[in-house]
Every structure is written in C-alpha cells, then in structure tokens.
Structure 1
Amino acid sequence: MKKGRSLVLIVATLLLFVIFTGCSNKEEEGKTESNTRVVSSLKGDVKIPANPKRIADISGASEDLVILGHTPVATANGDAYNTKEFPDYLKDKMGDAKIVGYNMSDTMDVEAILDTNPDLIIMSERQAKIYDQLKEIAPVVMMKDYANDWRTRMVDVAKLFGQEEDAKKWLSDYDKKAQEAGKQIIEKNGDQTYLSVLASGGQFFVLADAGIGGIFYNDMKLKKPVNLPKQQGISLPVVTIEGLSQIDADHIIVIATDADKKALESSSVWKSMRAVKDGKATILNSTPYFTQGYQPIGKELLLDTIKEEVTKK
C-alpha cells in the first residue's frame, strides 16, 4: 500500500511539474509577443520591438520620429551643405544623436551605427546595398524612397509605432497653420505670385514642388507664376538667370551661399527683375534654409519666416 501511495505521489508531482512548466512557457511566450510587433517593410514582414528605445534612422525620417516622441540614437539628417552637422533649427531637438551619414546617400558608416547599439534600424531603399550588414546589428525596416512625399512618409513611419493618428493630427495642425499664414499673405499682398529658387554656380534650381516652393503652393495655397517650369520627381528644373527673369514672379525667395549671393547681387539681369526693383526679393542662407524646406519641423518653423519676408515690403 505504501508503495502504491508513493507511486501516486510521484505521478501527481510529475503532472504538476509538467502543468507548471507548460504554463510558465506560455507566460514567457506571451511576454515575448507583447514585447514585439510585426510590421511591413519592402523586405517583407519584420518583427521589431514594441517600444524601441534606441532607433537608428538613416532614411531621412528623423524629424518625423522626433515629432512622434522618438529621438533617434543615430541619424542621417545632417544639413545638406554640411552633412556632418545638424542644421541650426534642429540642434536642440536631436539630443545626443550621432550623425552616421547623409540620408540622400546610398551608404552609411555601418561601424558608427553599430556603436550606437540600436534595437531598431529604419532605412530607405536607396541604401539597399548595406541591408545585409545592417540586419546583423538589429531588426531593420526598409522603407520606400518617398522623394518629395513627406506627408506619406510621416504617416508610414508612425504606423511602425501604432501612432498613425498622432501623425495625422500633426499634419492637420500644420495644414491649418500653413493655410492661415497663406490667407494672411493674400490679405496683405493681394493676388500676387511667388517663386523660390536655389542659386548654385550661376544656375538656378526652381523649387517648383519641393522645399519652400512646396510650402508656397501646396501648403499655403499661394499663386504660381504663369511661366513656372514643372518638376519631375526630386529633380529640380534648372534655368539661367535670364530664364529666371522670364518666370517673372511678384515675389522671389532665393536660397544661396555667400559666394552665390555676391554673384547674384552684382548681376545686371538680377537688378533688372521686377521683383528686385519692387523690393520684393529675399535672399536666404543656404544653411539651414535649403534643408529646412524639405523636413516637417523645418517646414513648420518656416511658415512665419516666409510670411514675414513676403509681407514686409
């Protein structure tokens, strides 16, 4: 009888052990699942941390991340004219983020990314050739090249964290500010036209659907000059200074380096332009204003700058 009772006790103990172990394993599996989420990327579904703490972003979306409350540890959002430094308007918003390359480039400093110990890497398809190296470091989300479609990029980045509604609210608030600024400009100036260009080595890259030009026409809903050339993708239309004079806008904002500014101001063609003679031409420094016109935090800050510049004359 004693042997029988002992056998029953042993079997019961083993059963309890198996049940406890099974429950424990399921609990651990549940914890693991709750700590991760599956998201879509150009490389298929990717399991990423549910709440990543150390994000390396080389896609160009670092300002989107900051807006959503995620300051990256590594970034490629340096200034277009000094890619190893942040533009002035962004310096106080990037914390200790390390610049590991420039987002328009097809490669990055992989060792520098590794040194930041990321738990998530966000990259663009333009950097596809280093994908295999990066996925050895941390989970990688490859996003498409959004060109000038910064709004879709922000929403898609937000989807990675379940923050799509946050992104949409920010964009809605931005549009209200931009359209209100546009209304105020029209009230002050009337039905006038606006143009923005980038001066570079005697040529002028027309910001027809990007940068400050995109803010003028798409966001503020201001009027385009009749002769505004069309933009294809990210490639900016290029004109000579004579071509610039033929666009003939009421207001013009030129983004220029110091050297380009000097060359421009010594040009008889520039001096003969209607906007220049009417005191309605503004020259802004290439750093930070070129980069600023392409990124969301920069765009929002530019609304007041643009309004001030085109209504002060």
Structure 2
Amino acid sequence: MKKSILLLMSLFILALALVGCASGNTSNEQDTNQAPEEKATRVVTDIKGKVEIPVQPERIVDISGASDILSLLGYEVIGTANSDGYDYTKFPSYLENVLGHAKILGYSMLAEMDVEAIIALNPDLIVISTVQEKMYDQLSKVAPVVMVEMKQMDWKEDFMHVAQIFGEEEKATAWINDYLAKAEAVGQTIRTTYGEESSYLSFLASGGSLFIFDGAGLGTILYDDMGLAKPVGMPQQENISLPVVTFEGLAQIDSDYIFAIATEEDLVALTASSIWNGTEAVKNGNVVTLPASPYFNQGYSPIGRLAFVEEVEALLQSMHE
C-alpha cells in the first residue's frame, strides 16, 4: 500500500514538473515572438507638407543629389544618386571616401530610377528631389519620403534647405562658415601671389561645346567664395544652364588665368584651335587643364567645393612646372 502511495506521489510531482516546463517554454516562445519595438518618429515639413520620419533613420536612400549634404549633417546613406556626371556607375573621386559604401542607384538629375533596386535596400527613409516627383507616390508605399528642392544655383541655399528639413541648421551653418573662411584665406593667398587684379576663368569643353562657369559650379568658388576677379567679357548666367560660347566668344573673354575643364576628345579639339592658342593666357602658359570627370560636378557639391579650394594653389603652381 505504501509503495502505491509513493508511486502516485512521484507521478504527481513529475506531472507538475512537466507542466512547469511547458509553461516556461510557452513564455519563452511568447517573448521571442513579440512584435519588435516601434522606432521613435517625428514630423518634419518638406516642400510637399508634413511627413512622419524616424527620429534616427538607419537605412536612408537618397536619390535627390543631397547625399553629400546629408553626410555633413551626420547621416549615412545606403543608396545614392550622387554619381559621376560622366559615368553613372561610379562616384566622383571627391566622394569616394564619403559615399563609397553606398549602392549607386543612378544620377540625381534623372527623373526616374530603378524602384526595385530601392526596395531591395529596405530603406526606412527615402529622400528625393522635385526632379523625381513622379516617383513620390510609388516610393511612399515603400518608406516615408522627404522631398527636397535642389536649385543648383546657390549651394548654400540648397545646403540650408536640406538642413532645415532635418532640423540641423546649426551644423550646416558651422560647416558653411568654416568652409567660407578657408576659401577666403586661400583666395587672399592667391591674390598676393598672382596679383590683386588678376582675373580667372573656368569653362567646360564637352560634347563639342564650350560652357562658361559664372553663376554656378567652379565659377562661384573662384568669384564668390575666394573673392578672385572676374574677367571682362563674361557672358552672364541667368539660370542653371551654363552659358555657351564659340571659340571666338571664348577668345573675347580677357582672363589672366584659365581653368580649362574638358573631355579627352574636346581637349584635342581645343588645343588644335588657332583661336584658343592665340589667347593671352595660353601664350603666357597660364592655363590649368583638368578632366571633365570629376571637375564638372565638383562645384555643385559642398564637399567638392572644399576639395577644390584645398588643391587650387597646387593647381596654379603646376602651370609652369
């Protein structure tokens, strides 16, 4: 009889233990299967209106062309359209170390890009420009979308526009001020070295045409940021489109020093021109020749502008080496 009672008690204890184990397993499974904690969000205002975005986005895809600005504001992108203007499959050299880890999705001035490639990156925030507005609704189904307007005429305005949307005006202002102080100092050194009144011209020879940098690109680095003199005879730039001149028109621009940016093919045509070779800057050996890639894009990027300012003295010194 005692043996029967002991056997029953043992079975009862074993049953309780099994129930306890089963309850523990259920609890663990419930903990494992709990929905992940939702990320904190905030509401920002872009040119479309108010949009709710993550407070700390971790997987930003930017196809607006503002990836360099975002990096300066402390954000990393995993997908970008800040590719080289002459080869959409690579980065311009001045952005390789900044954006080299990101996937290139196209070129920022294109209206449409591969949506499937964007989806594959699993973004938690997408940044587009007004150029890609037709993609807005489709991309809004993938992740929150912020739309910016990159006017490409005043780089500081574009920089601050992006900064204001993300609430990073203080960072942007500090970076711009530091850059302008450096550009002004380099400009003063150049004026001291090459003459206070010496004038400077930059142009792009591409596709058989000559494009003058005045109110955009490298022109604004030379004239606005560095305070160098603009030559007489410059065509005025009224919008994002660079003024186009003929060889005769180029010869009428009376510049002491020239930055000639050109494709290989156009450089051959340029150096074979008697009109070009007859200009005073060429005859005096005061020409710096640079490749179209990356220098065409460079003046439109804050990081590119800084890179040019940091190398321009060496470029000028190389003229007579």
TM normalised by structure 2 equals 0.84
May I ask how many residue pairs the two structures share in their alignment? 282
Q: Distance in 1 between matches of 2:239 and 2:42?
A: 33
Q: In the TM superposition, what is the alpha-carbon distance from 1:154 to its structure 2 partner?
A: 1.6
Q: In the TM superposition, what is the alpha-carbon distance from 1:41 to its structure 2 partner?
A: 1.4
Q: Structure 2: where are the runs of 5+ without partners?
A: 1-36
Q: Which moved more, 1:64-73 or 1:176-185?
A: 64-73
1:266 aligns with 2:272: yes
1:157-204 deviation digits (Å, cap 9, x = unpaired): 223333210110000000000000110010011111111000023321
- Is the CA contact (8 Å cut-off) linking 1:57 and 1:74 kept in structure 2? yes
Matches within 5 A, 1:41-190: 41-190=46-195
Q: Distance in 1 between matches of 2:44 and 2:69?
A: 18
Q: Distance in 1 between matches of 2:40 and 2:243?
A: 48
Q: In the TM superposition, what is the alpha-carbon distance from 1:308 to its structure 2 partner?
A: 2.4
- Is the CA contact (8 Å cut-off) linking 1:39 and 1:48 kept in structure 2? yes
Q: Distance in 2 between matches of 1:140 and 1:51?
A: 15
Q: Distance in 2 between matches of 1:233 and 1:96?
A: 34
Q: Distance in 2 between matches of 1:111 and 1:123?
A: 16
Q: 1:196 aligns with which of 202, 223, 230?
A: 202
Q: Distance in 2 between matches of 1:175 and 1:106?
A: 32
Q: Which residue of 1 aligns with 2:312?
A: 306
- SS class of match (1:86): coil
Q: In the TM superposition, what is the alpha-carbon distance from 1:254 to its structure 2 partner?
A: 1.0
Q: 1:289 aligns with which of 295, 301, 304?
A: 295
Q: Which moved more, 1:138-147 or 1:47-56?
A: 138-147
1:230-277 deviation digits (Å, cap 9, x = unpaired): 112111100011100001211111111111111111111111110001
Look at both structures and tell me which one has the larger radius of gyration over its CA atoms: 2
Q: Structure 1: where are the runs of 5+ without partners?
A: 1-30
Q: Distance in 1 between matches of 2:228 and 2:160?
A: 25
1:137-159 deviation digits (Å, cap 9, x = unpaired): 10001112322222122222223
- Is the CA contact (8 Å cut-off) linking 2:44 and 2:166 kept in structure 1? no
Please identify runs of 4+ aligned residues in structure 1 that moved more than 4 A: none
